[in-house]
Structure formats: C-alpha cells, structure tokens
Amino acid sequence: MKIRILRALLSAFVPLAAALAATSALAGEVQVAVAANFTAPVQAIAADFEKDTGNKVVASFGATGQFYAQIKNGAPFEVFLAADDTTPAKLDAEGATVPGSRFTYATGALALWSAKEGYVDDKGEVLKKNAFTHIAIANPKAAPYGLAGYQTLDKLGLTTEIKPKVVEGQNISQTQQFVATGNAELGFVALSQIYKNGKITSGSAWIVPADLHEPIKQDAVILSKGKDNPVAKQFIDYLKGPKAAAVIKSYGYQL
C-alpha cells in the first residue's frame, strides 16, 4: 500500500518538476536604461513583471543625456526609458532602435521641493522672496527635469536673480540628494521622487504648473541590441498594461 502511494506521489511530482525546470530554463532578462526620475516606479513594475512572467529586468539608472552617449558608444542596453521624447526620437532617426517600438509611457510633473516642512509654499512664492542661499537644479543638457526647472525660472522672470545660487546635479537623483542633505535649501525635482498615492511623502513642495515649462513627455523604445530578445518586447508590452499604468499614476505621472 505504501509503495503504491509513493509511486503515485512520484508520478505526480515528476511532471511538476519537469514543468518547473522548463520554466526556469525559459526565464530570461532584459537590460534596461532608466531615467533617474523613474527609479521607484520601475522597481515596482519590474518586481511585478518578474512575478507575472518569470523574466527579470536588469535596470541601470542615470541621466537621459548620459545614457544617450553610452548607447552610442555601444553600451549593452536593450530597452531605454528616457525622461524626454526627443532623445529616443533622435536614436530612432539614427537607426539605433527597433522601428515602431517607441511610445510615450508617462508625462512627468516638476516640483519645487524642500526637505524642510513648511519651507516651500503651495504657490512657489519662496522663489520670488529669494531668501535662500542655494537652489538645486539638474544639468539641463543631460536631464530634462533640469531643463524644465530653468524654463520655469525663465517664465517667472527670475533667472538672472537666482542663477548665481544654483547648485547643479549631474542627474535628478543627485539633485534631490543636494536638497535632502541640506546642501541646498530647495530644488527642482521630479514629482515622482517625493510623491506617492496622492500626497507629498516628506518636506514641503510646490507642484509647478505645466504651463511654466515644456511638457515632460517620457518615451520608451527598444534599442537595436534588444531586437532579438523576446523579453525586451515583453517588457515594453507590460509597461503599456493596466498593472504598470496603476503604478505609474501612483507616482504622480500622467499617461
């Protein structure tokens, strides 16, 4: 009797083990270059993607302009999630992408943020008062959110007064760190860095009205190195789906 039970258990286990082994053998990964502002959302999306598909996202984070230079110099990225739409379009025109794969995955929002509670008012009047010593802004040549910060100052007519106080970050993550550590009293950051599920997560902030800067349309594209990797297309398709959309919206982006 015990032998029959053992044989039955083994007969059930063997196909299951084979199926698991096959799934493991089929599991793949995709190398993704991600604009720094999208760090937290893509980490959440990547975790869901791996859970749902068994495939892995290997993400690198940095400034869009820096990634462009790396891609042109042969970096092994297969998918690019940029912080603008112009850089992926440029790569498209240069034949460095899979044709037809580019799309806008999010439209970002800019925020003026301080790590101090109550320091930044909800209308941005702190800029006009100009009582601070340093303001952090990302390098506009590499980071679209830095460009949007400078455009905002231009639109408000404050560039001449405030520019001498600017501390420039190489990317939006370093810019946020300048503010978080107190090296700058305030700074222009991506809303997604300080926002989750409908509220500012720390400090004080002014969400900059969209008409004060050019739209921050963020495009994704499959790069030429990813054309033969089915996981690259699978991830792009997943990014367009409802589960990813819910994550993206929760960080303050528009779709």
**Long-range contacts from 240-249, C-beta under 8 angstroms, 24+ separation:** 240/103, 240/105, 243/45, 243/48, 243/52, 244/45, 244/48, 247/41, 247/44, 247/45, 247/48, 248/41, 248/45, 248/105, 248/106
Distance, CA of 141 to CA of 100 (rounded, Å)? 27
Closest CA to 217 of 105, 69, 67, 102: 105
DSSP codes of every residue in 32-99: EEEEGGGHHHHHHHHHHHHHHHS-EEEEEEE-HHHHHHHHHTT---SEEE-SSSHHHHHHHHTT-B-T
pLDDT at 55: 98
Size (the chain), residues: 255
Structure tokens at 216: 């921050």
Q: Under a CB-based contact definition with an 8 Å cutoff, are residues 112 and 127 in contact? A: yes
Kindly report the average pLDDT of the chain as a whole number: 92
Distance, CA of 190 to CA of 177 (rounded, Å)? 12
pLDDT at 26: 57
Distance, CA of 16 to CA of 114 (rounded, Å)? 54
Which residues is 188 bridged to in the sheet?
A: 112
pLDDT at 239: 98
The helix/strand/coil state of 152 is helix
pLDDT at 72: 97
Domains of the chain, each with CATH number or no CATH:
29-107+216-250 (3.40.190.10), 108-212 (3.40.190.10)
Q: Does the pLDDT of residue 20 top 60, yes or no?
A: no
DSSP codes of every residue in 157-223: T-HHHHGGGEEEESSHHHHHHHHHTTSSSEEEEEGGGTEETTEE-SSEEEE--GGGS--EEEEEEEB
pLDDT, tens only, 174-193:
999 999 999 999 999 999 99
pLDDT, tens only, 82-123:
999 999 999 999 999 999 999 999 999 999 999 999 999 999
**CA distances from residue 80 to 37, 58, 161, 245 in whole angstroms, order as listed:** 13, 12, 37, 18
Was 64 annotated as part of a binding site? yes
Mean pLDDT across 76-81:
98
* Residues contacting 208, CB < 8 A, separation 6+: 109, 110, 111, 112, 124, 148, 152, 188
What radius of gyration, in Å, describes the C-alpha atoms of the chain? 22
Closest CA to 77 of 223, 221, 219: 223
